[in-house]
Amino acid sequence: MKNFFKKNLLSLQPCLLSVVFVYLFMFFKMLFFNSIYPDSYLYFKSEDIYWILKMGSWIINNAQIPHFNVLGGQFSELNSLSWVCYQWLFSLIMATTNNLLGIKGLIYIYSVFYLFTISLLGYMLYLRGFKLFPEIAIAVAISSQYLYSIIDLRPGIFTIIGCAFLSIIFQFLERKRFLWLSLPVLFLLWANLHLGFVFGILWLAVEMTVLAISKKTILPIGLLILCILTTGINPNGFYLYKYLYALGNSPYMNMNIQELLPFSFAFNYESFCMILLLLSSFYAFNSAKIRISEKIMFLLSLILTLISARHISYTIVFMPLIYSTAIEKLINSFGKEVDFFKQRSEQKINLPLYFLVCGLIGLIFCLNKSYELPKLPKYLTPAFIEYVNENPLNSPVLSNPAVGSELLYYTKARSYLDSRFDMYGDKYVEKYMELFSLHGCWNDKLKKNKIKYLLYDSKTDYEKENNPFDNLKENFELYGWKVLYRDKNILLLGT
């Protein structure tokens, strides 16, 4: 049985090799021939950045971190909402950059984060003994392309950076005890940058447990406890864990927000990457270069991704290691045919070259896609922004979340909904999304909840291109609603 399994496993080598070449072709095709013009909305796929910038500016101006909605403007029904303002440090960084350099500065600084992440992942491979090409170059290219496909101006990239640091620190933890002091500092920053620090704590727990058992000492467990205590140094203390647990068990949001839905395989680029990763992991998983804790956490990341697609960022951390191991194993299996690579592997190349190659891979993406400023805002028109600023509304409007986020940043008006659902809670979001859908006796429900304004945009709320608001306008006029403002994109109704 063992020989049969080995024989069939080796038969997969030509298949895997062809997949690698196909992927490289796709990599360069997408890089240079995807479109004549760059994707200027690369870092603005969601509207969360508006909330992040607004919150960061408030923290700068008031020198404190809020525990309630301070972005509700003059409207008491919004300002009375309590908040758990996590990820405040990322808001502070982005708002400071925006104040100094504007939107172009946001694109540049996030490109730096992206480049640093790619270089750090490459350095992680270098420390494992992998070589420049093809083990590092191809693995980093594949991983950076997938990271590029989900990138956005949100703090999730710091979880990938944090996990990369963990991987590097763990490699030297037994030989260089002074690195132990770096872990509490890492988790102190991480807990205030992104909620993904919980995954880091789980990884640390696995690593310290394995180390404690192998070395028969409780010191690693003490370090784990210290790091857990360090994560409590944030505006919400250890209540943050309870809050994150409640977010993870929010029925409405988990069933209706696209990125919270389980990862589903389809005929698309993301599915191709996932299948390639699964094939590579099957081929490379028995390698000693992948540590026990990494195997456990990689499997956990796959499970989490299948539960909720937003957890794909955890899986990305292990992509370079899986790919590099598979590529190295594939090359070594060809024997004399690859002596050229083996001879090159004995040559010592300067570390900066490794780091530079990984950084250049990311730099190509940034220069190719992010130098053109996006046309913002996406939904609101300049005339509408001028209108609502000159004619203040005496109550919040009810709009879709994307428009609500743009209102928050560009106007004095406010919406009951914006894209940061996690700040408002499951019941609140479900209530106002139901009201906005106008189901059942919608007019009575709007009156009961004292909603005086409704705001629609043609890009999100309607597919009809010609006069998209005509039917809507007539239906609302029957119930006493009036058109307060209208242009080709925006319709504001009031009662």
Over the stretch 271-316, which tens digit does the pLDDT of each residue have?
878 888 898 999 899 898 899 999 999 999 999 998 888 888 899 8
Contact criterion met (CB below 8 Å) for 174 and 217: no
pTM beyond 0.75: yes
pLDDT confidence band for 4 (50 / 70 / 90): very low
d(CA 103, CA 110): 11
pLDDT for 19:
52
The pLDDT of residue 8 is: 47
Among the residue ranges 159-163, 172-176, 226-230, 288-292, the one predicted with the least confidence is 172-176
What does the alpha-carbon distance between residue 30 and residue 34 come to, in Å, rounded to a whole number? 5
Exposure of 302 in the CB half-sphere (CA atoms within 13 A):
14
The mean pLDDT value for 47-72 works out to: 93
pLDDT number for residue 35: 46
Query: pLDDT at position 420, please?
Result: 92
407, pLDDT greater than 50: yes
pLDDT band at 356 (very low <50, low <70, confident <90, very high): low
Give pLDDT, residue 10.
46
Is the sign of the CA dihedral 63, 64, 70, 71 positive or negative? positive
Cα 293 to the center of its chain, rounded Å = 23
Residue 205 CB partners (closer than 8 Å, separation 6+):
224
32 vs 262, residue with greater confidence: 262
Q: What is the mean pLDDT of residues 382-392?
A: 94
Residue 370 has pLDDT above 60, yes or no: no
Q: CA angle at residue 250 from 249 to 254, to 5 degrees?
A: 100
- Calculate mean pLDDT across residues 441-469: 79
Cβ contact 170:180 at 8 Å: no
Lowest mean pLDDT among 74-88, 93-107, 113-127, 364-378: 364-378
Question: Of 332, 226, 345, which Cα lies nearest the Cα of 284?
Answer: 332
Mean pLDDT (the chain) is: 83
- The count of residues in the chain is 495
Q: What is the mean pLDDT of residues 322-330?
A: 89
The DSSP annotation for 341-381 comes to HHHHHTS---HHHHHHHHHHHHHHHHHHHSSSPP-S-SS--
| 77-86, 100-109, 150-159, 470-479: least confidently modelled range | 470-479
The string of DSSP codes covering 240-273 is: HHHHHHHHHT-HHHHHH-GGGSPP---SSHHHHH
Q: Are 77 and 48 spatial neighbours (Cβ–Cβ below 8 Å)?
A: no
**What's the burial of 377, exposed, middle or buried (CB within 10 Å: 0-12/13-18/19+)?**
buried
Angle between helix axes 88-127 and 157-172 (nearest 10 degrees) is 40
In angstroms, rounded to a whole number, what is the distance separating the alpha carbons of residues 81 and 67? 9
Q: Sorting pLDDT into bands at 50, 70 and 90, what band is 9?
A: very low
pLDDT at 488 over 60: yes
What residue type is 13 in one-letter code? Q
- Cβ atoms of 362 and 144 within 8 Å: the answer is yes
- Distance, in Å, from the CA atom of 183 to the CA atom of 169, rounded to the nearest integer, reads 8
Which of 178-182, 364-368, 473-477 is predicted least confidently?
364-368
Inter-residue contact 163 to 45 (CB < 8 Å): no
